Chains A and B, each alone.
Chain A
Amino acid sequence: MSDEAIKKENLSEEVNIREAGGGGWLYSDVVKDHFFNPRNFMRYGEEEKFEFNAMGRVGSPACGDEMVLWLKIEPETEKIKECRWRTFGCGSAIASTSVLSEMITEKDGMKIEDALKIKPQDIIARLGGLPDRKIHCSVLGDKALQAAINDYFRKTGKHERVLTAGAKVIDSVLNITDKDIEEAVLEGAKTIEDLQKKLKIGALGKDSLPAAEELLKFYLEKYFKS
């Protein structure tokens, strides 16, 4: 299977950043809408009033993106009833958080087991695509969501449900796991430089690079050598 084919399966459509509607704007119309009219973000003074039972934070301003997600999960149904967020990052980072906040709270709220299945590709598809180089750095939503739901599990004593499923943290500063590396490979990363570009892995310390390189080789063999 070529990396080209994978990309088309996962994304609803590819977006030419120069012609992505919105009068030749940088991003798609959906991104533009969510960027200029962000939904559900945590306003000043709302922090004290908003009753949440889950919170997740990923990224750091040093690497260019940071995101915090607050969730109100209904214990009986385990549905996400309300959500607030704050994001430091570029246009696509803000839009992708905003769109995620809609995805998980619409139609009476998404069950957390379904929310845990959300992949960056789902968010990107809903956004109408993103320029290639923006995909990995600006879509942190699924990771923040996972972190928040884990927080909920821990707070409610359901430690056995805390999701570490197979994911091993490779870069602890940026919270990059082996799963992220697998995904990056599936999206076309072939060298460690590609990985650094896509994931910013090692941006704040090169310690994680040897392990990342090993995983890169492993997944390249697994998916692209038959």
Chain B
Amino acid sequence: MLPKPKKIREIYFDHAATAYTDERVVKAMLPYYSKTYGNPSSLHRAGREANAAVNDSRRKIAQILHALPENIIFVGGGTASDNLAIYGMARAHEQRGKHIITIPIEHHAILHPLEDLEKQGWKITKVKVNEEGFVSPEEIYKSIRPDTVLISVMYTNNEIGVIEPIADIGRVILKYRKEHNTPYPYFHTDACQAAGYLSLDVEKLHVDFLTLNGSKIYGPKGIGALYIRRGIKIKPMILGGGQERNLNAGTENVPGIVGLAKALEIAQNEKEKENKKMRKLSLYLWKKIQEKIQNIKLNGPEIGDDRLSSNLNITFMDIEGESLLLYLDEYGIMCSTGSACTSESLEPSHVLRALGMPYEYAHGSLRFSLGRRNTKQDVDYLMKYLPVIVEQLREMSPVRMEKQKHARYK
């Protein structure tokens, strides 16, 4: 039977789901609960103080993005930001055309609004990605039609860590606009998973909209932002008191906004250091897994510049991800899986499926997303138990996938 550890450690390998809030961020947020509590719209002192904090945060974020403060809109999270970009853009520009281009491995916060628009008569083109998850800028360019108003491509994928060529896509869109003498299509990118690891300079990326979220960058949950390039009109989804330039009504989440700015500041300052540490750790983990476990496959790009340094997504053949996840959880190790069994829909990960991967590969996938608190000792602890757990689940499994059956996946 399985070995019992003397002491169960708590090891979090699920930072792409959400991360703990950095203590420096918590400290920055605390005064904005009971001390500086005003409504930023109020004219009195308490209101002005809160307003100052919001504006200060907006400025900090704008600086990091190489944008103007008024182009940062605070919203209730990454999903809210994605939704605002899609619906806001669609509703404001439908006279011009009803075609949007995206890729099939986007987050559901993009795909579901697009499916909804499709029901309302919009045309959606999902440009194929290759086996590693990359989309080709040329293919995007070829898909642009006269009625295309928006292109949305994620910066990095949350499941397989692939980094899409956003700047190159931005350039082909600029080329199209120039050739056709049109401001369309606009370009949105979801940078929730990229923040803290990659440059967020909207000028270098050539994006018109950029989505950020607090909790993936060790900031608070329930806060996000949408960058909107100057001069682009979108329609709000929430109406009320006119906050956030009429684009997201409701009293501002002041502590959240302060926390988001602080978290982004720390994340972008420590980017290089963090990338180095994560790369080293994920390489170490991948090496150890390869040494000790047979019949595995790395999903997504090779570990290198095209892959988010903190992400590892591995298929363990012949076993099912939820079982693996629950066994690891017994040992205090937390990660996630693309298996259908953990999803409400009982469908395996749409991302892994879009790579052309057979169902059975998606079912056996496990994602480790590393983060600030992880150490080499965490990996060593994991590797003490992962091989035996895989072994036991394989012993219990009737499936013996012959590798040659899917020659593409070795």
Contacts and interface: CB of A to CB of B under 8 A. Distances in A.
| Bound pair (A, B) | yes
Interface of A: 26, 35-38, 41, 43-44, 57, 61-68, 86-91, 93-94, 133-134, 137-138, 197, 200, 203
A90 B359 contact: no
20 contacts: A26-B326, A41-B395, A64-B341, A64-B363, A65-B320, A66-B399, A68-B398, A86-B396, A86-B398, A87-B397, A88-B319, A88-B397, A88-B399, A89-B323, A89-B341, A90-B322, A90-B323, A90-B339, A91-B323, A91-B326
A36 B320 contact: no
Contacts of A94: 323, 396
A35 B341 contact: no
Interface stretch (B5-13, B63-71, B284-292, B342-350): B342-350
Interface size of B as a range = 20 to 34
Contacts of B346: 64, 133, 137, 197, 200
A93 B359 CA distance: 17
> Which 6 pairs between the two chains have the least Cβ-Cβ distance?
A90-B341, A90-B322, A86-B398, A61-B360, A68-B398, A62-B359
A88 B326 contact: no
Given A38-B396, A90-B322, A61 B359 contact: yes
Contacts of A41: 395-396
A67 B340 CA distance: 17
Interface of B: 1, 318-320, 322-323, 326-327, 330, 339-342, 344-346, 348, 358-360, 363, 395-399, 401
A44 B395 contact: yes
Contacts of B399: 61, 66, 88
B296 to A, nearest CB: 16
Contact of A87 (B326, B327, B398): B398
A23 to B, nearest CB: 11
A140 to B, nearest CB: 11
B359 A57 contact: no
Contacts of A200: 346
Given A41-B395, A57-B398, A64 B323 contact: no
B396 A133 contact: no
A66 B348 contact: no
A186 B346 CA distance: 20
A65 B323 CA distance: 12
A6 B399 CA distance: 35
A152 B345 CA distance: 37
A43 B363 CA distance: 23
A137 B1 CA distance: 27
Given A41-B396, A57-B398, A197-B346, A63 B323 contact: no
Contact of B326 (A35, A43, A64): A35
Given A87-B396, A87-B398, A62 B360 contact: yes
Contact of A89 (B1, B320, B359): B320
B320 A88 contact: yes
Contacts of A36: 327, 330
Nearest to B360: A61
B350 to A, nearest CB: 14
Given A64-B340, A137-B346, A200-B346, A86 B358 contact: no
A62 B358 contact: yes
Contacts of A61: 318, 359-360, 363, 399, 401
B320 A86 contact: no
Nearest to B392: A38
A88 B339 contact: no
A64 B318 contact: no
Contacts of B348: 64
Contacts of B326: 26, 35, 91
Contact of B339 (A37, A57, A64, A133): A64
Given A41-B396, A88-B397, A133 B344 contact: yes
Contacts of A203: 359
A218 B45 CA distance: 69
B352 to A, nearest CB: 13
B359 to A, nearest CB: 4
B347 to A, nearest CB: 9
A147 B31 CA distance: 66
B183 to A, nearest CB: 41
Contacts of B327: 36
Given A61-B359, A200-B346, A88 B322 contact: no
A64 B360 CA distance: 7
B220 to A, nearest CB: 24
A64 B396 contact: no
Contacts of A91: 322-323, 326, 341
Interface centre among B339, B345, B363, B396 (most CB of A within 10 A): B396
A66 B358 CA distance: 15
Given A64-B320, A64-B359, A88-B320, 16 more contacts: A37-B1, A41-B396, A43-B395, A57-B398, A64-B348, A66-B399, A89-B341, A90-B320, A90-B322, A91-B323, A93-B320, A93-B323, A94-B396, A137-B341, A138-B341, A197-B345
Contacts of A26: 326
B359 A86 contact: no
A157 to B, nearest CB: 27
A65 B348 CA distance: 12
Contacts of A65: 320
Nearest to B359: A62
A86 B340 contact: no
A148 B144 CA distance: 56
A138 B363 CA distance: 14
A44 B395 CA distance: 6
A42 to B, nearest CB: 8
